Structure 1
Amino acid sequence: MENWVLLRKGADFQHISEKFHISPRVASLIRNRDVIGDDAIEKYLNGTIADLYDGMLMKDMDKAVAVLGEKIKENAKIRIIGDYDIDGIQSTYILLEGFRMLGADVDSDIPDRMKDGYGLNRNLIDRALEADVDTIITCDNGIAAAEEIAYAKSMGMTIVVTDHHEVPYTEIGGERRYILPEADAVVDPKQEDCTYPFKGLCGAAVAYKLVEALMEAMGKDAEDADYLMENVAIATIGDVMDLVDENRIFVKQGLDMLKRTENLGLKALMECTGVNVDKLSPYHIGFVIGPCMNASGRLDTAKRALELLEAKKVAEADLLAGDLKALNDSRKDMTAQAVEEAFIQVENSELKDADVLVVYLPECHESLAGIVAGRIREKYYRPVFVLTKGAEGLKGSGRSIETWHMYEGLNRVKHLLSKFGGHKMAAGLSMPEENLEQFRKEINEKSGITPEDLNEKIAIDMQLPFECVNEKFIGELAVLEPFGKGNARPVFAERQVQVESARILGKNKNVLKLQVKDLHGTRMDAMYFGDVNTFVEYVREKFGDIACECLLRGHGHGIVMAFTYYPDINEYQGVRTPQIVIQNYK
């Protein structure tokens, strides 16, 4: 059930409007994003690279720089060990590029999702030992690898951890005791005693900060690494980090850089997936480019996506980009099948009554568990774990809702798990198969979830009559971009809207085009890209069969609804027409 809430956050919107040359309406939208005070508004609207924080403020960054600076001077063999998702791939590339600029003897390794599992493990350490590697740097992993790092240290290796995940802990008498790996340096802003001002960085951003700090310490111009900000932007969006504070600057600057990137692999991938580079947005990273990169780690090896980033010839880049697109197309088909199976399982069992859904899909490719969990969460608005049958027990991924901290939830049942890690909104886990039912039982019993937590809150920025939806206003909204998690596209609402006609469009009949009219008599085209069948059935249920059929034939009468929406421009044959895109209805 949805709970529509109109935000009413106060401020002197006239003052903000005059000072920052924006409309009072836009000033109100900025306040709704909890951007308060002139300095914060200035940074939100006009933040640049100069506003990024000094990486040396991170705990252990000084140690990491000292240790690695010496290793580079000694020409010690350094290996970067990343992860198989988009953040891990970008982090690995950033460190490789940075260390090569510094003249280091450096290479990389990325775990195989199926053979190695997540993060640093003995296989990877043994491979490094066989290759006479002296120093391992982790990126986007390592914080939860205390045992593996102890093993590497016992073999005489130097280890530097860079990560952004939650620090593992045990609870004794209600008090948390954090378990840090005994590495030579641990750089992770989530550490309790790290004084870095922003905790929400992705792994690639932490890696970038290390490169910057090292370059400065070794007398190089840190600006030479600025181009790597495009990779930080890809990882920030792809790993679904909040687009606030530093992340907003990274993404804004990085997207601008991507439009004119010199990286042959990224150029080829954007070209083969049909991305309009001039209109590049977080959407293209999150739903087009990112999934292609993630597909390599899901169905093949993430090293292929890294090869794409490192491609030095156009023909090589084109070939690799085509491979990644083909892998992602295959991944989409497999995902659709698994999602359908999951929905059937939930609907035909007691699962749908649980606060936390634990779905077991033994035949599902384990790499798709997270995507499937996300789709189930969207449908049922519950935290979801999808488990698959692995070589040694069950493996899976979880996706959460805003009101439930997934990592903390797993920590309460860790006695049932072989391994787990993650953060508030997502996690990975493995367990013996015989623990499945007990896990399902205990994760619910100890969830602490209330009925209110399971009512999805739809935050509405303001009620807005359709006469205000014009090209000028839509243009003003551009100052709020880039949109994404933590900086959502504005949500407007209007009540008592007459729905005059509806047409189902699209090859797959998955788009609804409506003609709507508000109380003031302003007509507008409205698009709906959600579940069209559910929308039509809702209208049928509320207004009857005849009214629904008339609506679909273009003669709607007596159908009055409320909508949340955002305004948009429909551009067709050179003609630009304002329209609204419906998000929610009732």
Structure 2
Amino acid sequence: MEEWIIKRKGGDFEKIANRFHISPRIASLIRNKNIIEMSDIQMYLEGSISDLNDPMFLKDIDKALDILTEKIDQGKKIRVIGDYDIDGINATYILLTGIRRLGGNVDSDIPDRMKDGYGINEELIERAYHDGVDTVITCDNGIAAKEAIDYGKNLGMTIIVTDHHEVPYEMEDGERTYILPAADGIVNPKQEDCNYPFKDLCGAGIAYKLIEALCEIRGKDVDEMDDLLENAAIATVGDVMDLVGENRILVKEGLARIRKTKNIGLNALIEATNLTKESIGTYHIGFVLGPVMNASGRLSTAKKALELLEITDEREGKLLAEELKALNDSRKEMTEQGVKKGVESLGESPEAKVLVLYLKDCHESIAGIVAGRIKEAYHHPVIVLTDGKDGLKGSGRSIEAYDMYEGINECKDLLTKYGGHKMAAGLSLPKENLEEFTARINRNARLSPDDFKKVIRIDMELPFSAVSERFIYELSLLEPFGKGNEKPVFALRGVEIIKGDIIGKNQNVLKGIIKDGKGDKIDFISFQNVEELQEKSKGNKMNITYYPQVNEYNGYKTLQIVITNYRIV
């Protein structure tokens, strides 16, 4: 059951509106995001690349810079080892491209999801050593790779870790003892004694900060690396980081560059997915471009997505982009099958707090996507496990009320490998431990029935008469939208659909005209249970939540709303 809650946060909206030349309604929406101080509002509305934090605040970045400067000058072979997801791929590209432009002898490696599993391991270290690599630099992984890094150090290699995942720890007498790998430098703002003000950069964001600092150290113009903001933005959105503070600036700046990108592979991917470059936003990264990049690491090798970013031939770029799109189409079909089986196994009202599903036939590479979809359906934390090379392997996706990493960490004696953060984690365990793991993670879960309610938080009631092109333009000042900076939610009571037709190739869109209690009409579309909405709305009034937009078609502009939730009254 959904619970609708209207935010009622007070403030001097006229004062804010006058100071920033916006309407009081927009000022109210900003206040709803808990942005209160004038300086914070200014940063939210006007923050730019010049407002990013100084990378030198990152713990150990000075060590990393000293090492890289020395190795570049000596012509030593450097290898970037990333991860197979969208963050790892883009972080690898940033480090690889940045170090190469600064004169480094550098190449890269990315683990195979099926063969190697997540992150750096002894085999990757061994491969680097036999290839004559002097220095390894990780990105989007490494903080939990103590054994692999010990192995590399014993071989005499220099190792730098750049990562954004939680630092592993052990509990002793109620206190945490953090376990850090013996790397020559560890750049991760989540370290306990790191003074970097913003803790929530993704792996590619940290990679960009390192290259930014390396540029300055080597007396190069940082503007020459501006195109790498495209990759930091793609990774930040694709890895579902909160779009607040520094992340919001990185995405805002990165999107502006993506819309004019000269990257041959990225242009080919945009074309292959039928997008218009000039209008790309966070939605297109999160639900179109990102999944195609991720599909390479899921069903083939993430090296293909990295190859696409590095490609210099337009024809080859087009062919590779089409190949990755085809992989993602296959991934979609597999996901639908996995979700269907998961829902069938759970029924309508599962009793467990944390839903642990063993889906034998689910491809291990899509376990996280399936977990995410089932989480959305039931609003419970979900862990999907399937058969891996050595036991069970899977991924978890969480709700706001539950820290997935903490929950899994409390069961670590049952696991062979795990890692992640509050909202998502990966894990492996012996099959014989499944029953005990399921029981213990549920026993430890401090969740109440209220935590499983889906809450729709409404920003304000907005009559259709207030929907104008000017208002919609002002809403764009709040972009980019995403996790942590969600689109505002508007609501209206007692509306009535006076015309509604199901349209679209897949018959999954309801389009028509809707009228509010004052008699004002506006066009609408909806993608939510369209047959049910069409049927239930006949002769009935509804309460709705919605978002306004301008619809452009054949050169004409019309105002319309997108209905996101409804209740028959």
TM class by shorter-chain length?
over 0.9
Letter in 2 for 1:441: A
Residues 12 and 217 of structure 1, relative CA distance in 2, 3 Å threshold: same
Runs of 4 or more, structure 1, over 6 Å off, are: none
The reply on whether 1:382 has 2:380 as its aligned counterpart is: yes
- Equivalent residue, structure 2, for 1:512: 510
- Equivalent residue, structure 1, for 2:34: 34
Q: What is the CA distance between 1:114 and its match in structure 2?
A: 0.3
SS of 1:352's partner is coil
Alignment map for 1:288-303 (pairs within 5 Å): 288-303=288-303
Q: Deviations over 1:521-560 (max 9, x none)?
A: 1122222212335646xx6xxxxxxxx4xx5xxxx32x12
- Equivalent residue, structure 2, for 1:494: 492
Alignment map for 1:64-463 (pairs within 5 Å): 64-347=64-347, 352-463=350-461
In 1, distance between residues paired with 2:553 and 2:225?
Answer: 41
In 2, distance between residues paired with 1:432 and 1:505?
Answer: 49
Query: Matched residues, percent identical?
Result: 60
Letter in 2 for 1:575: Y
In 1, distance between residues paired with 2:357 and 2:513?
Answer: 40
Q: Deviations over 1:243-282 (max 9, x none)?
A: 1111111111111111111110001110111111121111
Residues 175 and 203 of structure 1, relative CA distance in 2, 3 Å threshold: same
In 2, distance between residues paired with 1:309 and 1:573?
Answer: 34
Letter in 2 for 1:456: K
Q: Deviations over 1:384-411 (max 9, x none)?
A: 1111111110000111111111101111
Alignment map for 1:523-562 (pairs within 5 Å): 523-533=521-531, 535=533, 548=536, 556-557=538-539, 559-562=540-543
In 1, distance between residues paired with 2:72 and 2:189?
Answer: 24
In 2, distance between residues paired with 1:174 and 1:576?
Answer: 62
In 2, distance between residues paired with 1:355 and 1:183?
Answer: 39
In 2, distance between residues paired with 1:91 and 1:477?
Answer: 31
In 2, distance between residues paired with 1:469 and 1:281?
Answer: 22
- Equivalent residue, structure 2, for 1:55: 55
- Equivalent residue, structure 2, for 1:4: 4
In 2, distance between residues paired with 1:523 and 1:214?
Answer: 57
In 2, distance between residues paired with 1:191 and 1:535?
Answer: 49
Q: What is the CA distance between 1:59 and its match in structure 2?
A: 0.7
In 1, distance between residues paired with 2:10 and 2:165?
Answer: 35
SS of 2:315's partner is helix
Q: What is the CA distance between 1:76 and its match in structure 2?
A: 1.3
The reply on whether 1:568 has 2:544 as its aligned counterpart is: no
Residue correspondences, number: 567
Q: Deviations over 1:445-493 (max 9, x none)?
A: 1011111111122111101111111222112111011111111111011
Task: Please tell me whether the aligned partners of residues 502 and 531 of structure 2 are also in contact (alpha carbons under 8 angstroms).
Answer: no
SS of 1:353's partner is coil
Q: Deviations over 1:51-103 (max 9, x none)?
A: 11111101111111112211111211111000000000000000011111121
Letter in 2 for 1:347: G
In 2, distance between residues paired with 1:95 and 1:35?
Answer: 34
Letter in 2 for 1:143: I
Q: What is the CA distance between 1:174 and its match in structure 2?
A: 2.1
In 2, distance between residues paired with 1:503 and 1:436?
Answer: 49
Letter in 1 for 2:479: E
Q: What is the CA distance between 1:504 and its match in structure 2?
A: 2.2
- Equivalent residue, structure 1, for 2:560: 579
Q: What is the CA distance between 1:135 and its match in structure 2?
A: 0.8
In 1, distance between residues paired with 2:483 and 2:29?
Answer: 16
Q: What is the CA distance between 1:303 and its match in structure 2?
A: 0.4
Gaps of 5+ in 2: none
In 2, distance between residues paired with 1:535 and 1:431?
Answer: 44
In 2, distance between residues paired with 1:570 and 1:75?
Answer: 55
SS of 2:407's partner is helix
- Equivalent residue, structure 1, for 2:467: 469
SS of 2:369's partner is helix
In 1, distance between residues paired with 2:398 and 2:239?
Answer: 14
Letter in 1 for 2:83: D
Task: Please tell me whether the aligned partners of residues 387 and 393 of structure 2 are also in contact (alpha carbons under 8 angstroms).
Answer: yes
Q: What is the CA distance between 1:514 and its match in structure 2?
A: 4.6
Q: What is the CA distance between 1:238 and its match in structure 2?
A: 0.5
In 1, distance between residues paired with 2:305 and 2:172?
Answer: 43
Gaps of 5+ in 1: 540-547
- Equivalent residue, structure 1, for 2:20: 20
SS of 2:350's partner is helix
SS of 2:301's partner is coil
Q: What is the CA distance between 1:34 and its match in structure 2?
A: 1.6
SS of 2:373's partner is helix
In 2, distance between residues paired with 1:534 and 1:420?
Answer: 42
In 2, distance between residues paired with 1:185 and 1:52?
Answer: 22
In 2, distance between residues paired with 1:169 and 1:456?
Answer: 32
Q: Which moved more, 1:243-252 or 1:519-528?
A: 519-528
Residues 2 and 83 of structure 1, relative CA distance in 2, 3 Å threshold: same
- Equivalent residue, structure 2, for 1:543: none
Residues 572 and 226 of structure 1, relative CA distance in 2, 3 Å threshold: closer
Q: What is the CA distance between 1:507 and its match in structure 2?
A: 2.3
Letter in 1 for 2:240: V
In 2, distance between residues paired with 1:397 and 1:531?
Answer: 28
In 2, distance between residues paired with 1:140 and 1:219?
Answer: 27
Q: What is the CA distance between 1:435 and its match in structure 2?
A: 1.1
In 2, distance between residues paired with 1:465 and 1:447?
Answer: 42
Q: Deviations over 1:177-225 (max 9, x none)?
A: 1111111000001111111110110100100111111121122222211
Letter in 1 for 2:152: A
In 2, distance between residues paired with 1:368 and 1:484?
Answer: 22
In 1, distance between residues paired with 2:417 and 2:121?
Answer: 12
In 1, distance between residues paired with 2:287 and 2:496?
Answer: 33
In 2, distance between residues paired with 1:341 and 1:138?
Answer: 37
Q: What is the CA distance between 1:515 and its match in structure 2?
A: 3.2
Task: Please tell me whether the aligned partners of residues 3 and 453 of structure 2 are also in contact (alpha carbons under 8 angstroms).
Answer: yes
Q: Which moved more, 1:369-378 or 1:36-45?
A: 36-45
RMSD (Å), alpha carbons? 1.4
Letter in 2 for 1:470: S
In 1, distance between residues paired with 2:499 and 2:220?
Answer: 64
Q: What is the CA distance between 1:506 and its match in structure 2?
A: 2.1
In 2, distance between residues paired with 1:199 and 1:334?
Answer: 35
